[in-house]
Amino acid sequence: MEVVSKPAIEQLSCIRNCKPTTLFSGVPIIDLSKTDSKHFLVKACEELGFFKVVNHGVPVEFISKLESEALSFFSLPLSEKEKAGPPNPLGYGNRSIGPNGDVGWIEYLLFTINQDSFSQRFFEVFGSNPEEFRSALNDYISAVKKMACDILEMMADGLRIQPRTVFSKLLMDEQSDSVFRLNHYPPIPCPGPGIQTLNSNNTIGFGEHTDPQIISVLRSNNTSGLQISLENGNWISVPPDQNSFFINVGDSLQVMTNGRFKSVRHRVLANSMRSRVSMIYFGGPPLSEKIAPLPPLIKEEEESLYKEFTWFEYKRSAYNSRLADNRLVLFEKIAAS
C-alpha cells in the first residue's frame, strides 16, 4: 500500500473557537461542547471510522499525571519491568504482540478495567508508592470512560435510535470487558535483525489492525507515528495532539450498525528520534453480550450483514488471529448463490 505523507498542519491557536467539525490532515475534528456535534459524529463514523475530539472534559491533570507515571515505569531497567509480566494477556509485554507471531518496536502495559484482578505485588513494581500509579490510573480511566459513553450516546442520538444508551450501557455494565493499554515506542536504533520494517525509512511500532471492541479512545504525547488507512488503501499520517483524543470505531460497533459505521484500520510507525507514549481505553461489552445489527438500523430493503455472536466468541477469534487479519470476515453472512 502507498504511504501518503502529509505535512503536519499548524496547531489551532484557540481550539474553543473551531467549528463542530474541521478536516485536519483528512481527520475530522469534533467539538463535543457543540449541541449539533452528534450529526458530525455520525458522518465521521460513516466515512472514516475515526475522528478527533476537543473540549472533551477530561481534566488535564489526569492526563499529565498518568503520562508521568507511565514514563517513570518505562524508564525502569528491563529486569524491573519484566516483574510486571509476562502478559497473559494482561501485564507487561515487550516486542511480542499477542500469541501469534506479531512483533513491533514497542513495550506496553495491558490492564483490565477491574484492577482487583492484579496482585499488590504487581503494583509494587511501579515505584516506592504504587498507590500513586493506581490512583492516576483510576482517575484517568474514569474520566475517559465517561467521555466514551457520552460520545456513544451522541452517536445514538445522531442515528435517531432509542434508547440513547443502547451503546453506552455496554460500557457501563459492571461486567463490561473493557481494557486499558499503555504503549511505549522507544526511539529506534539502526534497524538490525529482528526489527520489522515497512521500508528502508519506517519501522513497525504496532502493525496494521482494527480494534475488535465497540470504541477506542486514544491519547498520545506530542510524537508522530499513528496512521490510518483510507478506503482506497492509502495511508495518512495523523498529526499528534497531546491535548485532544482520537476515537476509533471498533469491529463490534461496525456490526451493531450493520456496516454503516466503519471500523478503522490503523498502525503505528516508530520514531527514530523521540519516544512515543500512547494511552488507549478499549470499551468492550460483557463477555456474554450478543453482538448483532440493531433492527432500527436495518432498512426495509436491507438484510443483516453479520451473524449474531457473543463478545466472548469474537474476542476469542480475534485473539487467535494475526493483527492484520480481517477478523469480521468469519462472522459475515454469505449471500445464497
Q: What is the pLDDT of residues 154-186, one digit of tens each?
A: 999 999 999 999 999 999 999 999 999 999 999
Q: What is the pLDDT of residue 301?
A: 78
Distance CA 48, CA 46 (A): 6
Q: What is the pLDDT of residue 109?
A: 94
Could you say which of 164, 265, 267, 276 is catalytic?
A: 276
**CA distance to 36, 37, 107, 164, 280, per residue, from 247 (Å):** 18, 14, 22, 19, 10
Residue 163 class from Cβ within 10 Å (0-12 exposed, 13-18 middle, 19+ buried)?
Answer: exposed
**CA distance to 66, 122, 139, 326, per residue, from 118 (Å):** 18, 6, 17, 32
| pLDDT tens-place string over residues 65-99 | 999 999 999 999 999 999 888 888 888 999 999 88
| pLDDT tens-place string over residues 227-261 | 999 988 899 999 999 999 999 999 999 999 999 99
Q: What is the pLDDT of residue 133?
A: 87
- The proportion of the chain whose per-residue pLDDT surpasses 70, expressed as a percent, equals 85
What pTM value is reported for the model? 0.88
Which element (helix H / strand E) includes 93? Answer: strand 91-97
Residue 272 has pLDDT above 50, yes or no: yes
Catalytic site residue 160? no
